[in-house]
Amino acid sequence: MHTNNQSPQVRCVVNTCKYYATGDYCSAKAINIEPRNASTTEMTDCATFERK
């Protein structure tokens, strides 16, 4: 898996996710976004989401 020292600084408002943190950001070290070949914003999904 690719890693680097940068903070991803992901803003996320999905407050039902266990990685959601107050202030609307993601506390996961890395996230996976799917699917390949998406053609609209709505088609993209955070695959790292886990119900809180």
The residues that touch ligand SF4, with contacts defined as CB under 6 A, are 10, 12, 14, 17, 19-20, 26, 28, 31, 46, 48-49
Measured from the CB of residue 51, what is the shortest distance to ligand SF4 in angstroms?
Answer: 10
Measured from the CB of residue 1, what is the shortest distance to ligand SF4 in angstroms?
Answer: 15
* CB of 44 closer than 8 Å to CB of 10: no
* CB of 25 closer than 8 Å to CB of 17: no
The nearer residue to ligand SF4, 13 or 39, going by C-beta atoms, is 13
